[in-house]
Amino acid sequence: MNALPTAAAQVLERFQQAASWEQRARLLMQWGNQLEAVGTEECNETNRIQGCESLVWLIDASSENHLHFRAVSDARILRGLLALLLLRINGLTRQELDTIDLADWFAQLGLSRQLSPSRSNGLNAVLQRMRELADTKT
């Protein structure tokens, strides 16, 4: 397991201090507000992720060496989950994306159910799309 980037370590600490579901939900919504901006023109069909109950757009702004995604959703909690996902993924190399244990990341945050195999969950579809995008560039 790679060492956590500083920002990820900080957010982890805050989530681990959240004692109740309300606090976790509030934190999620706060983090959702900190997503990097996505323009309305980027919220198009090409960037839209199929298979989510909510609308999700994912934009790949990765460089040669490092992953960089931006994402947005019309649902607030999902925006928070996306922020936590991006926080853990952005800055990694493509190879690191394959080895990173995201289930463990969300479990540490107390959000393990959000990566459940249920098809109704949007986060898995987002992750799958990220992997496809990363693969097409290698």
Of 1, 21, 40, 45, the one binding other proteins (CB under 8 A) is 21
The tokens 């956590």 sit on which residue?
4
Residues 97-136 that bind other proteins (CB under 8 A): 113, 120, 122
C-beta closer to other proteins: residue 78 or 89? 78
The tokens 């853990």 sit on which residue?
88
- The span from the CA of 28 to the CA of 92, in Å, is 22
| Binding segment (CB under 8 A) for other proteins, from list 4-12, 36-44, 76-84, 97-105 | 76-84
Residue 43 annotated among the catalytic residues of the structure: no
54 part of the interface to other proteins, by CB under 8 A: yes
- The span from the CA of 132 to the CA of 64, in Å, is 16
22 part of the interface to other proteins, by CB under 8 A: yes
Q: What is the dihedral of CA 65, 52, 117, 110, to 10 degrees?
A: 70
Residue 63, number of CB atoms within 10 A of its CB? 8
Residue numbers of the site for other proteins (CB under 8 A)? Answer: 21-22, 24-26, 29, 53-55, 74-78, 113, 120, 122
> Which residues have a catalytic role annotated?
52
